[in-house]
């Protein structure tokens, strides 16, 4: 993969060269997922949690047309303060943003791409995108799913965002051969809630097991990534019925307002936050912390496996 436009943070570069664990982190959650200053505070705390669990954080973004694997605190603050004025960058946006020297906040898709380009195998996020409700007529399917089918990065998340059609999302991933692993669960978590009603094929109970599955996938030469569904901690989970009622209302309002495309997810998340009195934002922050810890622990175990092979 061409690294001409890639800048790897010196700390991240040193860790990768030494075979140390590194965890990629996305930046859309900073610019589009939360209000300022909570977005910056959360991003910096996530980085610290990755460090506390033995790995080096690499928050990923596009700044001045450069693909960045690892940001400084000042760069994170810039993304948080600039907010939604920063382009939400998916795969189709990369060549334009780079060519024009623009800024971009990376989605799951572009974070996976840049992480792989830099040599980072583990990525922690909040929730992935997926098949939107009504996609049978709108054809609105997140590029995250196609990236998982093609890019060899393990994505640790709290399941697919509950604003989506979870059944069709799982079907899409199965069709494209993406392993979906429940961490200490056999039910697909749905972002704000641990429940979804959809059963998973595989339950994995430790970071060491997760690392082993990923290593075997690489050894077998199978393309694509692995999705780890890590349920939000029980004390921060929202009531299944309350959150689904809020989502139904938010979707109905989005239709009235003519929201579509890449504006859909930020709109729905903001509307759900409004309808739940802010409870969804608090849950969002906690599930991101939870995923960062597990990703860091898994990255450490993956490094151990690689050391044993050499």
By annotation, the residues acting in catalysis are 26, 161
CB 254 within 8 A of CB 233: no
- 258-280 as b/e, with b when 16 or more CB fall inside 10 Å? ebeebebbbbbbbbbbebbeebb
DSSP 65: T
Task: Dump the DSSP string for 72-88.
Answer: -HHHHHHHHHHGGGSEE
Backbone angles phi, psi at 237, to 5 degrees: -70, 145
CB 43 within 8 A of CB 97: no
Alpha helices in the chain (DSSP H): 10-17, 28, 38-52, 73-82, 94-99, 108-118, 135-138, 143-150, 166-175, 207-219, 240-256, 264-275, 279-309
CB 105 within 8 A of CB 68: no
CA pseudo-torsion sign 29, 242, 166, 201: positive
At 193 the three-state DSSP class reads: strand
Q: How far is CA 59 from the centre of its chain?
A: 11
């Amino acid at each position: 993969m061409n690294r001409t436009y890639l800048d790897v943070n010196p700390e991240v570069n040193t860790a990768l060269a030494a075979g140390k664990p590194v965890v990629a982190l996305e930046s859309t959650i900073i610019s589009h997922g939360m209000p300022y200053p909570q977005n910056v505070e959360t991003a910096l705390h996530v980085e610290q949690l990755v460090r506390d669990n033995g790995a080096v954080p690499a928050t990923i973004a596009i700044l001045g047309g450069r693909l960045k694997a690892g940001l400084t605190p000042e760069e994170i603050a810039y993304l948080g303060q600039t907010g939604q004025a920063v382009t939400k960058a998916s795969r189709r946006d990369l060549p334009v943003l780079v060519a024009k020297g623009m800024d971009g906040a990376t989605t799951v898709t572009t974070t996976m791409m840049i992480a792989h380009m830099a040599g980072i195998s583990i990525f922690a996020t909040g929730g992935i995108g997926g098949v939107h409700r009504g996609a049978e007529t709108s054809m609105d399917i997140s590029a995250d799913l196609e990236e998982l089918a093609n890019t060899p990065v393990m994505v640790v998340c709290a399941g697919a965002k509950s604003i989506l059609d979870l059944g069709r999302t799982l079907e899409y991933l199965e069709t494209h051969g993406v392993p979906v692993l429940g961490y200490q669960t056999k039910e697909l978590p749905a972002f704000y809630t641990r429940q979804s009603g959809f059963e998973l094929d595989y339950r994995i109970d430790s970071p060491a097991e997760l690392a082993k599955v990923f290593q075997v996938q690489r050894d077998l030469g199978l393309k694509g990534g692995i999705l780890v569904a890590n349920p939000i901690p029980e004390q921060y989970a929202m009531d299944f019925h309350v959150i689904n009622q809020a989502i139904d209302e938010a979707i109905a309002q989005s239709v009235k307002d003519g929201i579509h495309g890449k504006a859909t997810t930020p709109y729905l998340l903001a509307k759900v936050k409004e309808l739940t009195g802010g409870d969804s934002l608090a849950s969002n922050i906690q599930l991101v912390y939870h995923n960062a810890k597990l990703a860091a622990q898994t990255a450490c175990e993956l490094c151990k496996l690689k050391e044993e092979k050499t």
